[in-house]
């Protein structure tokens, strides 16, 4: 083999390694153990000035999946809203305003989510168990 060919092969091998190392992967991601399909119990409360508040409770299915960045998850109810949280390694769902929660185990999650302003708002209290 000529010297130029050896350098070319070495250069190509280095480039392949760089490309493979730069690809987005989640094999050792601490979030993996929390992801999956869940059954949820939802308590929903809506209030608006000068109207009667609305309360309801219902069951839903949904998923816990990767969020928008490397430390977040999205909890999505089937046919309903989705909620984005920072997920810490201990299972805590990082606070976003007054919204917070926790995975009590990899199979059980609970959280509260509130949104609103001066004229009204909504509150969710949600618990979920892995299906």
Which element (helix H / strand E) includes 99?
Answer: strand 99-105
The predicted model scores a pTM of: 0.76
As a dihedral over the C-alpha atoms of residue 58, residue 120, residue 50, residue 79, rounded to 10 degrees, the angle is -30
Residue 11, pLDDT score? 55
Read off the pLDDT band of 98 (50, 70, 90).
confident
- Read off the pLDDT of each residue in 63-92 and give the average, rounded to a whole number: 95
The residue among 53 and 28 whose pLDDT is bigger is 53
Taking only the tens place, the pLDDT of each residue in 36-72 is 999 999 999 999 999 999 999 999 999 999 999 999 9
The residue among 103 and 13 whose pLDDT is bigger is 103
Q: Is 116 left (phi over 0), alpha (psi -120 to 50) or beta?
A: left
Cβ–Cβ contacts within 10 Å for residue 117, how many?
6
């Amino acid at each position: 083999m000529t010297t130029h060919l050896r350098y070319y092969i070495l250069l190509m091998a280095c480039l392949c390694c760089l490309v493979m190392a730069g690809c987005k992967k989640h094999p050792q991601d601490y979030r993996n153990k929390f992801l999956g399909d869940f059954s949820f119990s939802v308590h929903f409360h809506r209030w608006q000035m000068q109207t009667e508040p609305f309360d309801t409770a219902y069951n839903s299915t949904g998923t816990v999946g990767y969020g928008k960045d490397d430390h977040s998850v999205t909890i999505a109810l089937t046919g309903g809203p989705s909620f984005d949280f920072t997920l810490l390694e201990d299972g805590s769902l990082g606070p976003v305003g007054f919204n917070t929660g926790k995975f009590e185990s990899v199979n059980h999650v609970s959280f509260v989510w509130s949104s609103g302003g001066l004229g009204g708002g909504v509150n969710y209290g949600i618990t979920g168990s892995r299906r």
